[in-house]
Amino acid sequence: METLWFAIASVVIAIYVVLDGFDFGAGALHLFVARTDRERRQVLAAIGPFWDGNEVWLLAGGGVLFLAFPKVLAAGLSGFYLAIMFVLWVLILRGISIEFRSHVEDAMWRAFWDAVFACASILAPVLFGAALGNLLRGVPLDEHGWFALSLFESFSPWGTLGTLDWYTVLAGVVALAVIAHHGALFLAWKTDGEVHARSNAAAARLFAIVVVLWIAATVATIIVAPEAYRGWASRPLAWLCTVVFAAGLVTSAVARRAGKPLTAFLGSAAFLLGALAATAASIFPVMLRAVGHPEWSLTAFNAAVDPHGLRVGLWWWPAGAVLVVGYFTILFRLHRGKAQAPDGPGY
């Protein structure tokens, strides 16, 4: 039962990255791919029907941890307290920048909120990528399952651990590049005209950056977290997920060059899903690794609630899954086709 809930938590978080990732990426790029007010409204129209629903998956991930692994959630919230405050402010500023932008028809007003939207959309993937880097590298858990980390201490490989260090910042930069590539492919699919052309060109440039950074991050992970690499080498599921993410990355490039933006976007989604699934399969059952004391790590087995609670919680998932699939099917069907900037009030 603990293994199943670990898988559920991993799937929910991976879906959040794929869905909210494309509007983060669109926001990070929109100052570059959209240069007039109408083009920027077109970008916002492309993500407008989806972005707030996509963020619900983050709440769902927190709900899964609260239900199944409350010790992990409690330790993470306290240990990463300052970093989580940054994440919350970034998400808040991103949301209000989308909603406030068109409230006043003034060029300076709109330029200000465009800049806020871009900055928040850039910082969010960096912070989430750094969070993943912390999970892979490990944190200074004590024997009671608690830890405290300052925002940063040293960026030397031999320095004191901090939430931000050389490895976690690298993970954040990789996340930004991957999410920007994902967002560029989404905009290439959902827009036309100059925004489509610039988004397609941005995706082509970002693809090479993603490949280079991914190789660098893989080497760094082998050095910093050899346990994850050993887990990957011994688990066929991790190999299968690696094949999925490699195939997805190749598909995104081939389809983009062939002028098939939807296929390219789906390939990018497979890349993200496969990469995160391979990571989860490699580190299982560890959820928070204790640096220096592996026996103090919080795992899916020692951090889970009692089996009865897990079984009761599982009864709600089939109904919830049906509702979610139905909602997103209707949403994407209603908003199929190319997004256009509205003539009246709004984005």
Tens of pLDDT, residue by residue over 300-337, are 999 989 888 888 888 888 888 888 889 888 988 888 88
Are 182 and 27 in contact, with CB atoms under 8 Å apart? Answer: no
Structural domain count, the chain = 1
d(CA 162, CA 168): 9
Q: Between 150 and 86, where is the model more confident?
A: 86
Say what percent of the chain tops pLDDT 90.
58
- Kindly state whether residue 345 falls inside one of the protein's structural domains: no
Mean pLDDT, rounded, for 93-116: 90
- Kindly state whether residue 251 falls inside one of the protein's structural domains: yes
- Which amino acid, 276? L
pLDDT for 263 beyond 80: yes
Any idea what the Cα angle at residue 265 is, between residues 262 and 269, rounded to 5°?
A: 135
pLDDT for 130 beyond 90: yes
Work out the end-to-end distance of the chain between its first and last CA atoms, rounded to an integer number of angstroms.
45
Mean pLDDT, rounded, for 142-147: 85
Beta-carbon contacts of 40 under 8 Å, excluding residues fewer than 6 positions away, are: 30, 31, 34, 110, 114
- Kindly state whether residue 121 falls inside one of the protein's structural domains: yes
- Kindly state whether residue 343 falls inside one of the protein's structural domains: no
- Kindly state whether residue 226 falls inside one of the protein's structural domains: yes
Tens of pLDDT, residue by residue over 243-261, are 999 999 999 999 999 999 9
- Determine the structural domain holding residue 201 and report its residue range: 2-334
d(CA 183, CA 22): 4
Mean pLDDT, rounded, for 79-94: 91
On whether the pTM is more than 0.85, the answer is yes
- Kindly state whether residue 268 falls inside one of the protein's structural domains: yes
pLDDT for 346 beyond 70: no
Give the pLDDT band of residue 343 (cuts 50, 70, 90).
Answer: low
pLDDT for 152 beyond 90: no
Give the pLDDT band of residue 347 (cuts 50, 70, 90).
Answer: low
How far is residue 4 from each of residues 60, 307, 311, measured CA to CA in Å? 16, 11, 10
- Kindly state whether residue 264 falls inside one of the protein's structural domains: yes
Q: What is the pLDDT of residue 345?
A: 58
Are 11 and 241 in contact, with CB atoms under 8 Å apart? Answer: no
Q: What is the pLDDT of residue 158?
A: 65
List the CATH number of the domain containing 116.
1.20.1630.10
- Kindly state whether residue 341 falls inside one of the protein's structural domains: no
The kind and range of the H/E element at 286 are strand 286-288
